[in-house]
Structure 1
Amino acid sequence: MADPENFVGALARAFPMLSTEVFAIRSPEVRVLGGPWTANTFHDGSTVRGNDTLRLVGDLLKDPRFWCELESDGLEVHVSEDAVYLGTSPNRASVMTAQADLDVAVVPDSPYSQDDVDAVRYRPATADFWGDLDALLQSRGSLLLVSQWAGGLGGEQWYLLQSSTDVLAARAGVVPRSIIAAFEPERYIRIDDSSPVEVEGFVGSEAVYGNLRWLTPDSGSRLDASVVNDELDLREKCKIPKVGAVLFCWPETDMSGCITAACPDVDGVVRTLFRFE
């Protein structure tokens, strides 16, 4: 593909609706920790318009660390490494194609469309869900909670729940349209209370290090997350553990936890499409 900025400029001239319509961000993915993609700006359902839309399309072409779909009332935008897919009605598509001075081809579908069709439908995170979560916490003593506002590592927000107050704090910090999942104590180990042998036994002899999260206290019940790259990295982390550090292992099969929900919109409808991965 040509220079992304030149390409986006040509795209905007050919399809002016890209800079005039309001687009909602859908199915965001943040594939790394850190970076400029904040939950408040890039969560599912947040909107962009005008030059911000064009800038975001350019960023998606240049930087594979973040991805999302864009959706307006009459147009969908899916960006791959070497193409931009615009989805609209057949009549509108024929007009758009005729006006374009780019390399444009009519295709039956975007390669990303099936992802939304196969997306899991979640229970809404209403007061009933939070009540059930609190009841589970009382029976188990502690739970690890992840609120995932985007697919991928950078979309995870972690909490160690040890009281009803922690549940209230986590609920208050949840980003719109997040998926929420709780994990029982069998899925994590507290480094302060564990010997090296116990940590080794928890990880196992055939560890998938990409599934491990090293979680350290931030504020209140909130935890900061980092990856565990390999066995050596884990040993180095365990040598000088931060007080309250927790090691979590994503399950190989059921990654959704023992109780799961998604934050509904104000009308009570769950519109979240992405899933744990």
Structure 2
Amino acid sequence: MTEHPAPTILVLAGKRDGKLDPLAERAGVCHKAVVPIGGRPLIGHVLATLEQAWADARIIVSIHDPAILEQVEEVQRLRAAGRLEMAKAQHGIVESVEEASKRAEWPLLITTGDNALTTGNALRALHAHGMDAGADVVLGLARREDIQAAHPDGQYGFYQFKDMAISNCNLFWLRDPRAFSAVEAFRSGGQFFKNRSRIIKAFGLMNLIRFLLKLETVDGAMERLSKRFGVKVVAHRFEDGRLAIDVDNERTYRVTEELLEAAI
């Protein structure tokens, strides 16, 4: 595998719809990012992994109120090393990425503040795939079989393609600003995949029909998306099913806690 200069890493940690997350409310904290799990705040696990993935990668955390993270040990350490800065989270995912990207050097590797099971190997593999494949956008995915092998309760929702059922790993890679054309569909955030009209507008009716009828392979779907958006979109399939498990609710909190303990 060719060694490439480190990307800028963006951690999305904004509040969805500005509301207090139920896990944060249960834990008695003001933000999901600082919910304790496995002996440290949730985002602390993510930042510790990013810190080790590359010795010199810049890290940007997108959050509505940076003061929330002032007492997080990993934030203090990375800031002292000159490696971490904050960006103001916006009202939607794409808007938050655009705002943060003003401070970034490309490529941009994106993850989330609740992705506690991600690994340095996964981050480096995603970056290398994007660089070596000449891609504009890379989506990190895992197969249903690998996720269920990691933990039977790790993930219940999957996207079924002709060749496999997959789930995303909250790991994305963008080569440069041109890649925004492929994520434009997600502007304004919200529950995108529950809104059929937004899906049709973004991906096209025939593409949607092929997906619903399971007529498309994962790679075939990436080729169709590439043609629609005019940028090269590729999938990177991880064998480590843990990567598709993030902390979304009580169930995935329990699963993540169990897997963190097992890794010690």
Range of TM-score over shorter length: under 0.3
Q: Which of the pair is proportionally richer in strand? A: 1
**TM-score, with structure 1 as normaliser:** 0.27
**TM-score, with structure 2 as normaliser:** 0.28
Q: Which of the pair is proportionally richer in helix? A: 2
Which has more radius of gyration? 1
